[in-house]
Amino acid sequence: MVSSIVVQYTDLLRTSDYDLWRRLRELLTGQGLDPGRTIVVDLLQEGPDHEDGQVISEDGRVYKFTLFYDQAAEHGARSAYLHGWTDITDSWQSGSLAPRTADAFALLRDEDVRAPSVPDRAGNHGEPRRRAGAAQLDGP
C-alpha cells in the first residue's frame, strides 16, 4: 500500500495553488522533471528556513534536495530555491526513506498502467521503458 504522505504530497505538487507547491513545480521543471509525472516521496521541514525533499522522476530517477525559503514571510515561498540537488538513484535503498521510496515506486508503476501506450515513430506499441530505480524492486 502506498503511503498516504506520498499520495497527498504528490497530489499537492500537481494541483495545489499554494505558493510553496507552485514554486516547487517551477523548480522541478528547471531540473528537467515533469511535475505532472513526478512522485513526491517526502518534503519535511527541517529548520526555520528549509525543508528536505525527495522525489522520483517519471523515468525512475530518485533525487534528494533541500528547499530554502523564508517561512516567516507571507509570500516567502515564491522565492524558494533548491540546494543540494542530488541523484540518489543508486543509493536510496540505504537511506532513512527507503520504505517510503519503495512505496512511491508502486504509485509510479500504477500511473504507468493507467497511462495510454504511446506508439514509436513506426507506429508500434512497444514495452514500457524500464525505470532507472525500478530494477532494485524487481526479483531475480
Question: CB under 8 Å to 111, separation ≥6 — which residues?
Answer: 37
pLDDT in tens, 89-102: 999 999 999 999 99
Question: CB under 8 Å to 21, separation ≥6 — which residues?
Answer: 12, 13
pLDDT in tens, 26-69: 999 999 999 999 999 999 988 889 999 999 999 999 999 999 99
Q: What's the one-letter identity of residue 110?
A: D
**The pLDDT of residue 79 is above 60:** yes
Percentage of the chain with pLDDT > 70? 79
Average confidence (pLDDT) over 94-118: 78
Interatomic CA distance for residues 2 and 99, integer angstroms: 10
